[in-house]
């Protein structure tokens, strides 16, 4: 198949790296010249709101997908005239707006942080009073890696938070979930309706940016894993979803509280490239191409997989690769503070190897 991808960053690159061996060809749309995926297919360099390029891009494509959720829905509508675009536009609409997204989860009967739409400073004060402190004020749209959100710890923070995110942006307030840990469930549904679910990932963030993901998340009861699968299944079915869907969760008092979803392959699942029988990237490609899904189980010799993001700079490559069971992925991006430039995956056969090597890696990376 000829597959189009909106966005040519590292996710597009890893999608193409898994799809090329299956015989697919790729074309990318990204306004930034020489993006990480560009070497793996043709890239057209138009702004995402420039629908004049639609027929040029869609020419001879069999299916189109995207690597980020802030693709304008108007672009997806225009492209859909030419060929199918997956995941479906409803999933894109909901995941672009934190309010619609949380309403979807509560409609489906799932727990989220308490939330409210905020349009005025007065409403913000009222809701902070209702929710209690601390809470978090977020922009409804366009936030990522912790950007577009402000913690409100004291009454005095209310004005600061309002001034930082205003004027003019639609906002949402959320109660703070004092979680034990953060988890994610990565699921996939194909055009045939087949579904598959990866074991839960355990994620740690610093400054709102994902740092590490461990899979399978330690000490997860079969019931909690099943609960996560059922959450994902309800969203997949409701949205008639096609492709990989990631849902970020908080574990709070042993229960799952949904944080947000991403209608795409997800950073917490990068370790599936070596750690699982079929990676999230290959399964996304299989799903949108209508092919049978691959197994989401850990690879045969792998007991635990840990993924470490490389943020801001690239550590000494020889030292990283000198550690047993370690794989390196660089995205071809120049280092810049806060920028994800690559990741390292550690696949361990046993607990001792995992602890020893992950502590060596942590010293090299952070």
- Measured in residues, the chain has a length of 366
The one segment of 56-64, 141-149, 211-219, 275-283 that binds ligand ADP by CB under 6 A = 141-149
Closest CA to 284 of 246, 320, 256, 249: 246
Cα dihedral across residues 126, 129, 130, 133: positive or negative = positive
46 binds, among ligand ADP, Mg ion, none (CB under 5 to 8 A by kind): none
Angstrom distance (rounded) from CA 297 to CA 294: 9
Residues 205-264 binding Mg ion (CB under 5 A) are 248
Does 146 interact with ligand ADP (rule: CB under 6 A)? yes
Residue 239-278 contact track with ligand ADP, rule CB under 6 A, x = bound: ---------x----------xx------------------
CB of 348 to ligand ADP, least distance (A): 25
Alpha-carbon dihedral of residues 349, 352, 356, 359, nearest 10 degrees? 90
Residues 22-61 binding ligand ADP (CB under 6 A) are none
Does 132 interact with ligand ADP (rule: CB under 6 A)? no
Kindly state the number of chain residues that form the binding site for ligand ADP, as judged by CB under 6 A.
15
Sheet with strand 2-6: strands edge to edge:
42-44, 25-29, 2-6, 63-66
Closest CA to 64 of 141, 12, 142: 12
Cis peptide before 358, with omega less than 30 degrees from 0?
no
Question: 1, 100, 126, 177: which one contacts ligand ADP (CB under 6 A)?
Answer: 177
Q: Which is nearer to ligand ADP, 208 or 312 (CB)?
A: 208
Residue that has been written with the tokens 């209702």 in this structure = 130
Question: 42, 132, 193, 208: which one contacts ligand ADP (CB under 6 A)?
Answer: 208
Instruction: List residues near Mg ion by CB under 5 A.
Output: 248
- Residues at the site binding ligand ADP, with contacts judged by CB under 6 A: 113, 136, 143-146, 174, 176-177, 182, 205, 208, 248, 259-260
């Amino acid at each position: 198949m000829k597959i189009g991808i909106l966005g040519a960053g590292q996710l597009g690159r890893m999608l193409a790296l898994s799809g090329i061996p299956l015989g697919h060809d790729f074309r990318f749309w990204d306004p930034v010249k020489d993006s990480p995926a560009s070497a793996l297919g043709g890239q057209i360099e138009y702004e995402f709101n420039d629908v004049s390029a639609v027929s040029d891009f869609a020419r001879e494509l069999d299916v189109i997908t995207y690597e980020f959720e802030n693709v304008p829905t108007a672009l997806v509508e225009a492209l859909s005239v030419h060929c199918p675009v997956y995941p479906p536009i409803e999933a894109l609409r909901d995941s672009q707006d934190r309010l619609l997204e949380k309403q979807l989860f509560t409609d489906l009967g799932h727990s989220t942080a308490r939330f409210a739409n905020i349009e005025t400073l007065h409403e913000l004060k009222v809701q902070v009073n209702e929710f209690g402190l601390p809470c978090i004020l977020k922009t409804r749209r366009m936030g990522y890696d912790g950007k577009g959100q402000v913690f409100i710890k004291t009454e005095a923070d209310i004005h600061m938070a309002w001034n930082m995110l205003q004027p003019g942006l639609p906002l949402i307030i959320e109660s703070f979930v004092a979680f034990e840990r953060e988890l994610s469930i990565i699921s996939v549904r194909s055009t045939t309706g087949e579904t598959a679910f990866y074991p839960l990932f355990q994620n740690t963030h610093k400054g709102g940016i994902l740092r590490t993901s461990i899979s399978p998340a330690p000490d997860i009861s079969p019931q909690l894993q099943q609960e996560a699968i059922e959450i994902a299944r309800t969203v997949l079915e409701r949205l008639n979803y096609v492709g990989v869907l990631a849902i970020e969760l908080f574990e709070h008092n042993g229960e799952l509280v949904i944080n947000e979803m991403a209608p795409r392959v997800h950073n917490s699942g990068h370790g599936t490239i070596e750690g699982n029988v079929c990676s999230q990237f290959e399964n996304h490609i299989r799903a949108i191409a209508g092919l049978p899904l691959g197994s989401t189980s850990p690879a045969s010799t792998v007991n635990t997989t840990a993924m470490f993001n490389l943020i801001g700079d690239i550590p000494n490559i020889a030292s990283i690769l000198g550690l047993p069971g370690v794989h390196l992925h660089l995205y071809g991006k120049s280092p810049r503070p806060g920028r994800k430039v690559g990741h390292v995956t550690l696949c361990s056969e046993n607990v001792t190897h995992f602890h020893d090597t992950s502590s060596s890696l942590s010293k090299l990376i952070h």
